[in-house]
Structure 1
Amino acid sequence: MGTRRKAREAALQFLFQDDFCSKMEQDPADLEERFDHFREMYQVNRKARAYAIELLRNTLINRQDIDDIIRRCATNWRLERIAYCDRNLLRIAVSEILYSDDVPHQVAINEAVEIAKRYGSAESPSFVNGILDAVKKHIPA
């Protein structure tokens, strides 16, 4: 498994955990401190940490815009009703599509689908793929 995949998985686990924390604890300004605490409890590959922080920073700072895009593309799904794992995986992938110039859109989508196979339900990979395909059509290449 590549370093970036490990970073994406760490970011997913961090965001999943964050969903269960008080909103007051989720200030992007103290992200690195919270991530250090997270990685003390869970093993995060040393080489993957920098990219995980970059993904998390982009995702958390731009969360409202990312969520708006997901809402537009997830027809017949309210964002709040999407499973925690799938929702956070979508956020990470949309963040990569929008803010990571060195990651082709299709790579971000493929990585999200592969991670969904590992962490999501049986339906997660096709669900994530469908939403991200719709996102890709709405975003200039």
Structure 2
Amino acid sequence: MSRRKERELVFKVLFAHEFNPIPLSEQLEFLAEDVENKKRITPYVRKLASLCIEKKDEFDGRIKPKLINWDFERVAVVDRILLRMALAEFLYFEDIPPEVTIDEMIELGKKYGAPKSGRFINGILDSIFKDLKAEKKIKKSGRGLITKIK
């Protein structure tokens, strides 16, 4: 399965979790009842979804200061989830280039969010990424991971 499809599955799980916060293991078990979905629940899917739930407050703490003249609770659920997913990839997935993370979240925002979600997500992630890079919190290794974002 492609990473894009895995991200989309994580997004859907986190969206469901937002409205029905049952344990992640139960949500994944429910999904796995369908044979096709069972194959889609990869280690990447489990790790990304669980990081987004476990580190939600930490991630939100990074997002909130970037919302100039905007209340966090007014940010669309779709956008909040995608921003958290990006933070998890920035900080905990050394093999995923930040540019890929940003592009993927923008695309998911365009698909599932409001008309301006892609632009909103891009602006917030660019700012957060710059902060994380300045704080030396971005640790990437592997091919193609030299970043051009300044």
> TM-score normalised by the shorter chain: which range applies?
0.7 to 0.9
Give the whole-Å Cα distance in 1 for the aligned partners of 2:35 and 2:120.
Answer: 28
Alignment of 1:28-39 (within 5 A): 31-39=24-32
Q: Which residue of 1 aligns with 2:146?
A: none
Task: Confirm or deny: 8 A CA contact 1:6 1:45 kept in the other structure.
Answer: no
Residue identity in the other structure for 2:87: V
Residue identity in the other structure for 1:51: Y
Per-residue CA shift, 1:65-117, capped at 9, x if unaligned?
11100112222222211111111111111111111111111111111011111
DSSP 3-state at the match of 1:95: helix
Q: Which residue of 2 aligns with 1:44?
A: 37
Residue identity in the other structure for 1:36: E
Counterparts in 2 of 1:45 and 1:79: CA distance versus 1, 3 Å: farther
Could you state the TM-score of these two structures normalised by the residue count of structure 1?
Answer: 0.84
Pairing 1:75–2:74 present: no
Q: Which residue of 2 aligns with 1:18?
A: 17
Residue identity in the other structure for 2:14: L
Q: Which residue of 2 aligns with 1:94?
A: 87
Give the whole-Å Cα distance in 1 for the aligned partners of 2:97 and 2:41.
Answer: 19
Residue identity in the other structure for 2:37: V
Task: Confirm or deny: 8 A CA contact 2:8 2:108 kept in the other structure.
Answer: yes
Counterparts in 2 of 1:122 and 1:53: CA distance versus 1, 3 Å: same
Residue identity in the other structure for 1:120: G
Aligned partner (choices 49, 54, 64) of residue 57 of structure 2: 64
Between Structure 1 and Structure 2, which shows a larger proportion of helix residues? 1
**Structure whose CA Rg is larger:** 2
Unaligned runs of 5+ in 1: none
Task: Confirm or deny: 8 A CA contact 1:4 1:48 kept in the other structure.
Answer: no
Counterparts in 2 of 1:118 and 1:42: CA distance versus 1, 3 Å: farther
Residue identity in the other structure for 2:106: V
Per-residue CA shift, 1:1-26, capped at 9, x if unaligned?
x611111111111111111115xx34
Unaligned runs of 5+ in 2: 139-150
Counterparts in 2 of 1:46 and 1:114: CA distance versus 1, 3 Å: same
- Quote the RMSD (CA, aligned, Å): 2.1
Could you state the TM-score of these two structures normalised by the residue count of structure 2?
Answer: 0.79
Pairing 1:103–2:96 present: yes
